[in-house]
Amino acid sequence: MKRLVNSLSVQKPSIKTLITQNHHPQALKSSLSLFSPLLTDQIYSLFIKKGHPLDSLLSTTLISHFTKLGDFSRAFSFLFDTRNPDIISYNALLSGLARFRQSGDVSVLFYELRYLGLEPDAFTLSSLVRACESLEENEIVHGVCFRLGFNCGAFLVSGLVENYSKSGDIVSAEKCFRECLGADNVVYTALVCGYVWNGEFEKSRDVFMKMSGFGFELNEFSLTAVVGALFDVQEGEQIHVFGVKTGLLCNHLNNAIMNMYVRCAKKLDAVKVFDEITDPDVVSWTERIGAASDGVEALELFKFLRFNGFDMNEYTMTNVLSAISGQRLWKPGKQIQALCYKAGFLKMVSVGNALIYMYGKSGLIDDARRVFDDMICRDSVSWNSLIAGYSENGFVGQAIGLFNSMRDFSVQPNNYTLASILEAVSNSKSPKQAMQIHSHIIKVGFLLDDSMVSCLITTYGKCSWISESKRIYSEIDTKNAIHVNAVASALVLSGCLADALEFFRNVWGSFVEVDSSTLSIILKICGAITDLEHGRSIHSLAVKTRIYQHSFVESAVIDMYCKCGSIEDAEKAFWFTSTDNLAAWNAMIMGYAQQGCYHEASNLFNKMSRFGLKPDEITYLGVLTSCCHAGLVREAYTYLDRMFELHGVIPQLEHYACMVDLLGRVGLLEDAKKTMDQMPIPPDAHIWQILLSACNICGNVDLGRVAASKLLELEPNNESAYILLSNLYASAGMWNAVGKLRKEMKEKLLHKEPGSSWIQVSGSTQYFFAGDTLHPQSKEIYKELMTLYEQMLASPELDKLVLFLDDLSACKFKILIEDPGIPLSIGAHLERVKKSETGMCNQSRVGRHASKLPSVQDSLRTNSRQIKSIRLLMVSGSMLWRVVDDLRCQS
C-alpha cells in the first residue's frame, strides 16, 4: 500500500529536467499541456538541433493537438518534417481540416497521400465525407468510397446519408441506407434527421419506429432527431416521458422538446421544460425566447441575455425578431438590427429574412425593401418574405413585379412564393391575374400540391369567381379535407353562405374526409346566418366524430350559440371545454359582450387568472365591448390601462375603436376625439366612421364635418359617410348642404345598401328589406309592429328610451309565425351606414322591457310556442335597434 502511495506521489519531471536529461521527445509532448505554441516551437528547435528524428507516432500527437486549435500551419509543418509519415499521421491532419470544413485542403492532402502510395482506410474516407460542402463533392467522395470498397460500411454511410439529406437529395440518401450492410442506430438516426430536414415527417416517424422495433439502442441523439418530426403533442409527450424515465434528458434533447412544444402551440409546457434545465446554453435561451407569450416578453428575455453577458448567435436574433413581428414593436426591432450589424449577424441570410418579415408585418415595407437590397446573399425565403410583405400591405403591383424579378434572377419560385402571389391577387380581386398565376402553377408542376390547389380555390373565391373554384374542386381525383375547407372558405368569401351549407351536406353524404377546420367553418356560417338548428346538428356531429375536443371547434361552437342568441347553450358548451383553451374563453366573453351582459363578461375575465390563463388582445376586446354596450366609461379606461401594465398586451386599433364608440354613445364626443388624437396608431376609416355616427346621434355638426372629411380622405367612395353627414345636416336644418351631398352621391353613382333581415321557418328562409311590402303577410306584420310600438311608448319602464322612427311606414316587425311547434331563427344584415353599430347601447335593457309587452306575450301564447331566444329587429331610415333577450312562455 505504501509503495502504491509513494508511486502516486511521485511527480512528473519538469520540462527543464527532461531537456537537461536529453529527453526532448517527452519534453515536446509535455509542452502541449501548457498550450503555449511558442514554447513548443522552442523545444522543437532543440529537438531538431539535437538530431532527433520526428517519427510518425510523435508527429500524430503534435498534429492532432494543433488541428484542434485550428493552427493548420504548424500542423502541416510537423507533417512535412515527419520521416516516412504513415496513414495515421495523414488521418490526424485530415480529421482536423474536416472539423473546420476546409474541403479544399482535405482534397489536396488526400491526393498527396494517394500519390505517396499510402492506402486510405475508413478513417481517411470519414474525413473526406465530413469535409463535403456540396452535393457534387459528396457524390465524388461517394464514388471514391465505392471504388475503394468502403461504401457499405455503417461508419461511412451515416455521413453520406447526412450529406445527401442536407443537400436535399433524399433519394440518394435512401439508396445509401439500403446499400448499408450493417446499419446501426447511428445510420438510422442519420436517416431520421434527413427526413426531418426535407420535410418528410411521416417517413421520419416510420424509420424511428422500425429502429425501435429492431431493438436498436435509443439514445439522446435518436430522440432529438425524431422530436423534430412530431406535430402531435401527445407523441411529443411520449418522447419526453421516455427521456425522463431513461435519464437521457440533456441540453440538446431538452431544446428539441421545447421546440416541439412551441410548434404544437404548448408554450407553457416549453417554459416548464426550460425551467428544469440546470445549465441552459445559448440554444436553450433561444428556444425560450421562441416560447415567449408575446413580443414584449421576448424582448425582456433578450434584454436579460444581453445585460448578463450571455452568448447570442444568429438564431437568437432570428427568434426575437420573429416574436416581435406584427406587434408594432418596430423601434426595438431597429435597435436589434443595429446590434446585428455590430455583431456581424447581418451577413446571415436567416437574420436578414427575419428583419424583412418583421418590417413587413409592421407595415414598414420600405425598410423591408432596404434590408432585402442590402443582403449579400438571398435565398427563396428572402424573396418570399418580401413578396408576402408587399401582399399583406396592399402593394399588389410591387408583389407581382418582385415575382417577375425573382424569375429574372433564376431563383425558382416554390409553393410559398406562389401562395404569397395568390394572396396578392386575391387582395386585388383580379380574376385575370388569378388565371395567369394558375397557368404558371400548371407549367411548373405545382398543381399536384394540395396546398397549391386549395390556394387557387380560395383565390378564385375571393375574386368572386366561385364557378372556377367549383370546377377545380370537381377535377380533383382524390379529395381530402384540405380541398373541402378551401371550397367552403371560397363560398364564405363570396357571400354564398347557404351554398356553403349545401356543399357541406353533399360532402358529408359522399363520405369525403372532413376535419376540425371544416366543422369550424360550417359553425361560423351557422352563427353568421343565425341558423341555430343547423348549428346544433353540427355540434352533435362534432361530438359523435370526436372532433369536438379540438380547440378551434370548441370555440366555434360557443361563438355559434352566442351569435344565434342562445347564451344558455353557449354556457353549457363552455363548461365542457378544456380549461386551457383561451379561444373558448374569448368566445364566451365576446358572447356575453354582444348580449350586453357586462357583469358575466367581467366575472369570467376575472376567473381566467385562477386557471393560469393570460388574457390576449381578443380577451380585452371582449371586455371593452361589454363596457361599450353597458355604457361603463370608467371600467373601460381601467381595462385599457391594465392591458399593457398587467399583461403586456399592446392596444390595437380595435381596442381604441371600442373606446371611441363608448365615449360617442354616452355623448362625450370631445373625449372621443381626444382619445383619437392621443392614439399611438393613426385612426383608420372605421374609427372615423364611428365618430361620425356619434356626431350624427348627438347633432354635433362641426365635429361631424371633420370626421366625414377624414373618412372620405381614406375611403372616397364610402357611401356611409355621405348618408351620415346628410342626416346630420338634415337634423340641423341645413338643407342646402343636404342637397349638395345628395347631388355628389348621384354624380359618383353611390347608393346605400339597404338593411335586411331574414327568418327561417321549417328550413325555409324568407327575407325582408326596409320599406318592403311585397310579403303576402305584410299587413299583419305592420299591424303587429304598430301594436308593439304603441305599447313600448306607453310602457313606464321605457320612459328613458328614445326611438327615432322618422318613417313609421318603413318599419317592420319581422316575426312571421305560421305553425305552432316549428322552431324559428331570425337574423339581420345591418345597413352599411350602421356598420359601426352606434346606437346599439341599452340593447339588453330594451330586450328585458320588450319581453314584458302584452303583444309579445300574447303572440307567443296564441301560437303555443316554447321560444328560448328571439330577435326583434326594427329598421328605419335613421336608427336600427336590435333587441335581444330571453322570452319564455308556457304553452
The gap between the terminal CA atoms of the chain, to the nearest Å, is: 104
Closest by CA position to 817, among listed 786, 780, 782:
780
Closest by CA position to 218, among listed 194, 195, 247:
247
Closest by CA position to 243, among listed 262, 229, 227:
227
CB 488 within 8 Å of CB 517: no
CB 402 within 8 Å of CB 386: yes
Closest by CA position to 659, among listed 673, 645, 680, 649:
673
SS3 515: coil
User: How much helix, strand and coil, in percent to the nearest 5, is found in the chain?
Assistant: 65, 5, 30
> DSSP characters for 772-828?
---STTHHHHHHHHHHHHHHHHH-GGGTT-----S-GGG--------STT--EEEEE
CA–CA gap between residue 656 and residue 688 (Å, rounded)? 11
pLDDT of residue 624: 93
pLDDT of residue 660: 92
Domain with CATH 1.25.40.10 in the chain: 652-752
Is 680 exposed, middle or buried (CB count within 10 Å of its CB: 0-12, 13-18, 19+)? exposed
CA–CA gap between residue 713 and residue 407 (Å, rounded)? 38
CA–CA gap between residue 881 and residue 812 (Å, rounded)? 12
Cβ contacts of 217 within 8 Å, gap of 6 or more? 185
Is 557 exposed, middle or buried (CB count within 10 Å of its CB: 0-12, 13-18, 19+)? buried
Query: Can you tell me which residue has the cell 319602464?
Result: 797
Q: What is the C-alpha radius of gyration for the chain, rounded to an integer number of angstroms?
A: 36
Is 202 exposed, middle or buried (CB count within 10 Å of its CB: 0-12, 13-18, 19+)? exposed
CA–CA gap between residue 731 and residue 697 (Å, rounded)? 9
pLDDT of residue 356: 93
Q: Within 515-652, where are the H helices? A: 516-528, 532-544, 551-563, 567-574, 582-594, 598-607, 617-630, 633-647
Angle at the Cα of 730 (from 727 to 735), degrees rounded to 5? 130
| 262-291: pLDDT as tens digits | 888 888 889 999 999 888 888 899 999 988
Q: Provide the 8-state DSSP code for 639.
A: H
pLDDT of residue 622: 92
CB 684 within 8 Å of CB 714: yes
Closest by CA position to 788, among listed 846, 723, 865, 714:
846
Amino acid letter at 1?
M
pLDDT of residue 763: 58
Cβ contacts of 148 within 8 Å, gap of 6 or more? 120, 125
Fold adopted by 652-752: 1.25.40
Q: How many CA atoms lie within 13 A of 438 on its CB side?
A: 18
pLDDT of residue 372: 92
pTM here is 0.65
Element (H, E) at 506: helix 497-509
pLDDT of residue 324: 86
CA–CA gap between residue 663 and residue 517 (Å, rounded)? 38
CA distances from 266 to 79, 232, 629 (A): 54, 11, 34
pLDDT of residue 561: 92
CA–CA gap between residue 581 and residue 460 (Å, rounded)? 33
CB 426 within 8 Å of CB 463: yes
Could you tell me how far CA 890 lies from the centroid of its own chain? 49
Q: Provide the 8-state DSSP code for 833.
A: G
| 480-530: pLDDT as tens digits | 888 888 999 888 888 888 888 888 888 888 878 888 888 899 999 988 888
Give the residue ranges of the chain where pLDDT is below 50.
1-2, 4-10, 798-825, 829-891
